[in-house]
Copies of this chain bind each other. A is one copy, B any other.
Amino acid sequence: MAESSEVKVLGAWPSPFVMRARIALNIKQVNYAFLEENLGEKSELLLKSNPVHKKVPVLIHGDKPICESLIIVQYIDDVWSSAPSILPSDPYDRAIARFWAAYLDEKWYPSMKGIATAQGEEAKKAVVDQVVEGFVMLEEAFVKCSKGKPFFGGDQIGYLDIAFGCFLGWIRVTEKFNGIKLIDQAKTPQLLKWADRFCQHPAVNGVMPETEKLAEFAKILMAKMRAANPPN
């Protein structure tokens, strides 16, 4: 284990964004304390550490809080620089990894969340199509980035693997609830194999929630949302 000088992660187990910080620390073999937040009643430490967004994850390194999952991953890569690199070493490869990570958070994830809230079959189909269209582009990106190796990052899990892979639990829950396949053998065969490899990786498999457990959590969450916003 690398020197940690007191590392904490403020998080919540079902959050894909929190998972990014934890996987990055696992890759670097950094010991850390995981402080589970109750998002219904956020801790003083969370509010003080991330006063702008008041969101998890926050990485606290010594007494310094770092917020925003992809910024945390880059920070971890910068600080524990002697361990395996997370960002690609080539500037262009690095730009491509950053591009797709930003695409996932800014374009793809809002569509993905829209599957649960789309009203009617037609609207749902339109959102599912957008999500799958994103995966088809990511399949192409995988072929280019991985260069025949098992991960976007090559032989090891890298920045884009972490950025994308953290959504796999929620992708599987969405597939289960809707009786559909979002990543499949026909359209995205490389991603299908990559997803299994990613979930089995030792830096990931203790952190990725089981689909059943996440599905139970999702049911409770959706019931709360329906109670707060009953359909017209």
A residues near B (Cβ < 8 Å) are: 52, 61, 64, 66-68, 71-72, 74-75, 78-79, 91-92, 94-95, 98-99, 102-103, 107, 137
How many copies are assembled?
2
A61 contacts across to B, CB distance below 8 A: 92
CB <8 Å contact, A91 and B79? yes
Please name 18 further chain A to chain B contacts, defined as beta carbons within 8 Å, in addition to the given A64-B92, A74-B98, sorted by A numbering.
Answer: A52-B99, A52-B103, A66-B95, A66-B99, A67-B99, A68-B98, A68-B102, A71-B95, A71-B99, A71-B102, A72-B95, A74-B94, A75-B92, A75-B94, A75-B95, A78-B91, A78-B94, A79-B91
How many Å lie between the Cα of A95 and that of B69 in the bound state?
11
Interface of A is mostly: helix
Give, as a whole number of angstroms, the nearest-CB distance from A78 to chain B: 4
